[in-house]
Amino acid sequence: MILFTYLIADNKYPIVLVHGFMGWGSDEMAGYKYWGGKNDFEGYLRNKGFEVYTASVGPVSSNWDRAVELFYQIKGGQVDYGLGHAEQYGLDQKPPEKIFTGLYPQWDHDHPVHIIGHSMGGQTARMLQYLLENVIYQDEDESIPEKSLLMGYIHAGWIHSITSISTPHNGSTLSDIITKGIPILQDFIGVAAVVGNNFYDFDLQQWGFEKKEGETWAAYFRRMREHKAWGTKNMSAWDLSLEGARELNTITPANSSIYYFSYSTSNTHLDSASGFYAPNETMSLILRANARIMGRNKAYWTDGSATDSTWFENDGIVNTISQFGPTSGLNGADPIAEYRKDELLIPGQWYHIKTINMDHKAPIGHGLYDENDVQEMLKLFDDHCNLLWSLPEKE
């Protein structure tokens, strides 16, 4: 049990929650929270004394676009995806609909933040790290820097820690199914039937894609799936793949001034008769077919190398082995260690805290029908936020 409390915290930096693929903001889904479901994890943590904010970035967008949106959502201002990036993919560089007042406008080196990302949100946090640490150029020969607040300057020390929950750091062997939204579509259509069609937004204004007046949500979803963006690398499909994750891991190694933590999830077991992994009875019915596919099938990188049986264990969406931390970068793996509460923590390496025996959505409160499970997850978040606030302040 972690004994630190916010009253004796070594830092009180704000904590920003970043949702994953197909996630949503606090004012969407008719009050059904991404972080908590029928419960409100953000509200719970605020009542515990923590300064917590919930971000809402593009649910199917690339990690680049999501990270840019996350920056301006925290800091405030007009979203600017970068001239070079916009020209490469045919985007609106500065969509007028995406201007934010800022969740934490004083954010800078002296006022850093902790970021907790679920699923793809953990990748997005690391892409934001990359954009903060590097000057981004408009042109291939790197002679003209971008002119935005984010990309035109180096912002060292703005992130104090990154925590990932169920994140596909090295991709998912189910990425093709994930990016088509199949596992979650049934959930959303059910909610749409109850609350109407204006409960969700794909936030793809940079692609010129918006919901039409009178368009049903199901038709909106189908039209989004047919969008030309899916054929590019500037969409979640690429980032969640083995190759896309390898690219992110190559450009964004662990930073020696940032603390890193990971939680993994597993809700499958080894079937001794077949040698494959099968879903547990507690796994969501919607995810079980995915779990069986992942529990027996290999996937390949473009160089011909393949995953092996260590990738079979999964949570219905992401392979458990992919959740510990980034290991597939071309420059080598990030250092990863098992967390021990009495050990001195050092920045620049990942601490894997635990593997949670739940499916992919359960740690953030979805599909938890037992009150004991709900309380277990609330305590996990409370303990982890205490851990984050126990970290030394920036020098």
Which token pair is 56?
Answer: 């809402």
Contact 114, 161 (CB under 8 A): yes
Q: Which of 315, 334, 359, 382 is catalytic?
A: 315
56 is known as an active-site residue: no
**Strand ranges, E, within the chain:** 15-18, 52-54, 77-78, 99-100, 113-118, 159-165, 259-265, 268-270, 277-279, 336-338, 350-356
Which token pair is 166?
Answer: 């169920």
Q: Which of 160, 360, 366, 384 is catalytic?
A: 360
φ, ψ dihedrals at 163, nearest 5°: -120, 130
Contact 163, 115 (CB under 8 A): yes
Written as one string, the DSSP assignment of 346-373 is: -TTSEEEEEEESS-TTGGGTTT--SHHH
Contact 67, 124 (CB under 8 A): yes
169 is known as an active-site residue: no
Contact 42, 116 (CB under 8 A): no
Q: Is the dihedral of CA 89, 92, 94, 99 positive or negative?
A: negative
The three-point CA angle 332-338-342 to 5° equals 135
Which token pair is 73?
Answer: 């959502």
Contact 60, 21 (CB under 8 A): yes
Q: Which of 56, 61, 62, 119 is catalytic?
A: 119
- Residue 104: how many other CB atoms lie within 10 Å: 18
119 is known as an active-site residue: yes
Cα separation, 297 vs 50, in Å, equals 42
Contact 265, 358 (CB under 8 A): yes
Q: Which residues contact 171 (CB under 8 A, 6 or more apart)?
A: 240, 241, 242, 243, 244, 245, 246, 299, 322, 328
Active site residues per annotation: 119, 315, 360
